[in-house]
Amino acid sequence: MAQNLTDVQQGGNGNNNTATDETKVSIVEGASDLGNKSYQPSPIKIKVGDTITWTNDDSIAPHTVTEGNPFCSLHPTMVGKVSVSS
């Protein structure tokens, strides 16, 4: 089940960067070494009320996602950007 800006699932494929209801974002392989290239797509563009589903596609390490401009609490150099419009 997706939750706004907090749902992280293992596996999958996130290719959307503009959403009408749901945007899928991938945490890419080797993300902990990639800094601001850790999330695909980035930046993420959504509208108010949309849902983002975060998928951990990195088989090397576990990751977290915070609300707002996302980052991983385990790897603080992993920083993304979410732009929200009305």
Express each pLDDT in 31-58 by its tens digit: 999 988 899 998 888 999 899 999 999 9
Between 27 and 20, name the one with better pLDDT: 27
CA–CA gap between residue 50 and residue 72 (Å, rounded): 21
**CATH number of the domain bearing residue 44:** 2.60.40.420
Question: Is the torsion defined by CA of 27, 80, 3, 73 positive or negative?
Answer: positive
**pTM > 0.75: yes or no:** no
Does residue 18 lie in a domain region? yes
What is the number of domains present in the chain? Answer: 1
Residue 29 has pLDDT above 50, yes or no: yes
Residue 76 has pLDDT above 80, yes or no: yes
Where in the sequence is the domain holding 80, given as residue range(s)?
7-85
Residue 14 has pLDDT above 70, yes or no: no
